[in-house]
Amino acid sequence: MEKNILSLGGLGRSFGTTRAVDSVSLDIGPGEFVGIIGRSGAGKSTLLRLVNRLIEPTDGRIAFGGQDVTALKGSALRDWRRQCAMIFQQFNLIDRLDVLTNVLVGRLAVHGFASSMAMRFSDAERALAIRALDRLDLAPQALQKAGTLSGGQQQRVAIARAQVQNPRILLADEPIASLDPGNATRVMDALRSINNEDGITVLVNLHTLDTARAYCDRIIGMRCGRVIFDGSARDLTATVVREIYGSEDLSDFNESVTSTTIRPGVPA
Ligand SMILES: Nc1ncnc2c1ncn2[C@@H]1O[C@H](COP(=O)(O)OP(=O)(O)O)[C@@H](O)[C@H]1O
Ligand SMILES: [Mg+2]
């Protein structure tokens, strides 16, 4: 097994009679930028949560670099969760704490339990957190309460928090679904630069097709828990799009695409 390949084999998760994820087999290589698309309920969120073991599979296997992730327990499981940082649609920051402290929360994944409780951080960790904020143009906001920031800024803080965890894989569940197009672009650009510069694998669930086309090397289309497309943006033809999103009227979807079209920003 080649090093650092995330490998899903026959992965499945049922909720009662619903097969949220159904026999998903994928290999994702280091440094890939993968977009997962599909209708609401297709199983995108469940798939990401299975990967970082926020939820347990009912069948199948997850491996990373040949190591069985599905069997990890205790500190080995905690370390796996540190290695795959998660970013959510609703940012999940602590509003009443300042931005810097929110970023440092990412370090708790690296600490043992006792020092996590004390929320004590070293100068080196503070410097690391400031650097992460600075890369995302947020150093001036370091001492501001997180709740006072715009949505786009808050999501970038969440990205900085994920970064100080020193992850191998970044899992982002619809990170731009509640942002306006300008902020959405900045957040996607931030994910792309982390992917390019740090070589971190990015797996991102996306609601809009244009974003997937603009940013992702590889697009995975899910429907009813299954992977029904796996290829490049170029291979994503109108026929395939119809298969992924269903044969119903696509006008709502197309409208959201044209009104919120975002494009990669010019690299700084
Ligand atoms: N905790 C849960 N309990 C019951 N059903 C769930 C749960 N989580 C997800 N599901 C169901 O699994 C399916 C896939 O959901 P989800 O992974 O959230 O899809 P997506 O993220 O693509 O919208 C849906 O039918 C959803 O209702
Ligand atoms: Mg979801």
Give the CATH number of the domain where residue 203 resides: 3.40.50.300
Closest CA to 219 of 44, 5, 17, 59: 44
Q: Which atom belonging to ligand 1 lies closest to the Cα atom of 174?
A: 21
Which residue CA neighbors atom 17 of ligand 1 most closely?
43
Provide the residue type at 145 as one letter: K
**Residues less than 5 Å from ion ligand 2, measured at CB:** 44-45
Distance 48 CA to ligand 1 centre (A): 12
Q: What pLDDT score does 246 carry?
A: 85
20 lines ligand 1 (CB under 6 A): yes
Q: Which of 11, 13, 15, 51 to mutate to test the pocket of ligand 1 (most atoms within 8 A of CB)?
A: 15
Assess if residue 1 is contained within a domain. Answer: no
SS3 78: helix
Residue of the CA atom closest to atom 5 of ligand 1: 15
In a domain, 70, yes or no: yes
> Rounded to the nearest whole angstrom, what is the distance from the C-alpha of residue 174 to the centroid of ligand 2?
7
Q: Which residues of 226-249 are buried (b: 16+ CB within 10 A; e: fewer)?
A: bbebeeebeebeeeebeebbeeee
pTM over 0.85: yes
pLDDT of residue 265: 65
The CA 136 to ligand 2 mean position distance, Å, reads 26
Q: Which of 166, 206, 202, 219 shows the shortest CA–CA distance to 31? A: 202
Looking from the CA of 155 toward its CB, the CA atoms found within 13 Å total: 25
Which of 257, 233, 86 is CA-nearest to residue 184?
257
Contact, 89 vs 173, CB < 8 A? yes
Q: Length of the chain in residues, anyone?
A: 268
Does residue 94 sit within a domain?
Answer: no
C-alpha 231/C-alpha 129 separation (Å) is 36
- The stretches of the chain forming alpha helices (DSSP H) are 44-51, 74-83, 99-104, 113-118, 123-135, 151-164, 181-198, 209-215, 238-245, 251-259
Residue 260 confidence (pLDDT): 46
Any domain includes 120:
no
Q: Does the Cβ of 239 fall within 6 Å of ligand 1?
A: no
Distance (Å) from CA 226 to ligand 2 centroid:
14
Question: Does 58 contact ligand 1 (Cβ within 6 A)?
Answer: no
Cα–ligand 1 centroid distance for 46 (angstroms): 6
Q: From first to last of its 268 residues, what are the pLDDT tens digits of the chain? A: 567 899 999 999 999 999 999 999 999 999 999 999 999 999 999 999 999 999 999 999 999 999 999 999 999 999 999 999 999 999 999 999 999 999 999 998 887 655 566 678 899 999 999 999 999 999 999 999 999 999 999 999 999 999 999 999 999 999 999 999 999 999 999 999 999 999 999 999 998 899 999 999 999 999 999 999 999 999 999 999 999 998 654 544 543 444 445 667 654 4
Residue with the nearest Cα to atom 4 of ligand 1? Answer: 15
Inter-residue contact 265 to 189 (CB < 8 Å): yes
In a domain, 15, yes or no: yes
Residue 54 lies in a domain: yes
Give the residue whose CA is nearest to atom 16 of ligand 1: 43
Residue 188 lies in a domain: yes
pLDDT of the residue at 252: 47
Residue ranges making up the domain that contains 194:
6-89+167-253
CB 49 near ligand 1, within 6 Å = no
Residue in the structure block whose two tokens are 């070293």: 122
The answer to whether the CB of 76 falls within 8 A of the CB of 69 is no
pLDDT at 266: 52
Domain count, the chain: 1
Ligand 1 centre from 43 Cα, in Å? 6
For ligand 1, what atom is nearest to the CA of residue 225?
14
**Separation CA 97–CA 39 (nearest Å):** 35
SS3 percent helix, strand, coil of the chain, rounded to 5, is 40, 25, 35
Residue 110 lies in a domain: no
